[in-house]
Amino acid sequence: MTDLRNAASRLALSTATALAVCMNALCTPAVAATVDVSETQTIIDHVTVSSSKPYAAVKQDLESRLGRLDDHIRTLLNQNKVEELRAALQKAAGNDGLVIHYIGLHGDWLVLKGQHKNGTEYFTGNVLTAVEMTNVNMAAGLYAPLRIIVYENAQGGTTIEYDKPSTQLSQFRSAQIDAQGRSLDDRLAKLCASVLQ
């Protein structure tokens, strides 16, 4: 009987010790992380291009002209099939060197305000261009993909607006990123000229 009491006493003591260790770990305050915040001001060139061409025709031309970042491409990424992925991305980018990543239906969302307008935002870019930039500075990914908005203007034509990529990316002070930014400037300007004609 004494052995049983001793065993029970040892068990209670070891349980209490384990509980004390756990409580100490839970109650000990963690060391606070250091948080640094900085702000940078940069000048952005905003581009507005308008045409008398109807919105529906511009939208159709743009969407038929650009490839899509689709599930097939995402599957190749998930399967780590690098060369197939690179080929699929090049094919999707086509002659314009741009791919639609996502479409924002801003005109449709205005139903929440009891109205509808013709206006669509396109998140567009090129993953192969993006990795050239994020390989240098991951923060450049903030501007990949780019955003353009296409909407019916007051004159019944179409307006495309976007922030010029080179001016967004100049804040990173990198010759490699700047070169990609200028290339994106050219691609967007050519795309706008083509779909608005």
Q: Flag whether 39 is in a domain.
A: no
Query: For 30-63, how does the pLDDT look when each residue is reduced to its tens digit (9 = 90+)?
Result: 789 999 999 999 999 999 999 999 999 999 999 9
Question: Which domain CATH number covers 78?
Answer: 3.30.310.70
Number of domains in the chain: 2
**21 and 53 share one domain:** no
HEC string for 57-99? HHHHHHHHHCEECCHHHHHHHHCCCHHHHHHHHHHHHCCCCCE
Q: Flag whether 37 is in a domain.
A: no
Task: Give me the DSSP letters along 13-61.
Answer: HHHHHHHHHHHHHHHSPPPPPP-----------EEEEEESS-HHHHHHH
Query: For 71-130, how does the pLDDT look when each residue is reduced to its tens digit (9 = 90+)?
Result: 999 999 999 999 999 999 999 999 999 999 999 999 999 999 999 999 999 999 999 999
**19 and 68 share one domain:** no
**25 and 120 share one domain:** no
Structural domain range at position 182: 46-196
Q: How far apart are the first and last CA of the chain?
A: 99
Query: For 180-197, how does the pLDDT look when each residue is reduced to its tens digit (9 = 90+)?
Result: 999 999 999 999 999 999
